Chain A
């Protein structure tokens, strides 16, 4: 399967604990995005990487959130000191930019559903 993969698919944690999610994008894609989706809402942009550089972070991303994409391949999203309000589906997406194309479809992974008790 050459699609976007995310791990774990589900995570249940207690308030105050740290959690880390992993995303493996489509191998040739240079852009990687993290979104958060709550029930009944569309995905909300969190952050974006072009290769290994994190170029933009949403104001939704508090200081407790950090994302990395070492070597421009897989990415991790860490949430420290989780709160009940962090409960959501965390989606990763990738796309291929360049070659004169200024807009591209995004390929989404299955998401990681986080429940904070």
Chain B
């Protein structure tokens, strides 16, 4: 079965620096991969989607890369701000279809002033 690995330890960075979060998966390569943000006590919020034939996707200060050879996605937040502090979840589509998602455990990001 598909397994998704995200850094289990929290990532602490200084304001203004670039945060880089990693998502590794095993088994099959998904048709697409999504990144979500989750704040404590709230539901996940969609950030970016990248398809298997795309290498990179950008949205404002966010950048996602997708390497199907390495079975890895990197999520970057440039010029990070304390408001970016949250847990970031990586999600892959399930081969069974229906847009069913398999989520990683998430990485908690803390941006310090």
Contact = CB atoms under 8 A, between A and B. Distances in A.
A107 B49 CA distance: 13
B12 to A, nearest CB: 18
A56 B44 contact: no
A110 interface: yes
Interface string B33-70: 01010000111111001010000000000000000000
Contact of A106 (B32, B96, B101): B101
Interface residues of A, number: 29
Given A56-B96, A105-B34, 13 more contacts: A31-B98, A33-B101, A42-B4, A45-B100, A45-B102, A48-B100, A56-B100, A102-B99, A103-B32, A103-B99, A106-B46, A106-B101, A110-B41
B98 A108 contact: no
- Residue among B98, B102, B103, B106 facing the most chain A CB atoms (10 A cut-off): B98
Contact of B46 (A31, A102, A107, A110): A107
A68 B49 CA distance: 29
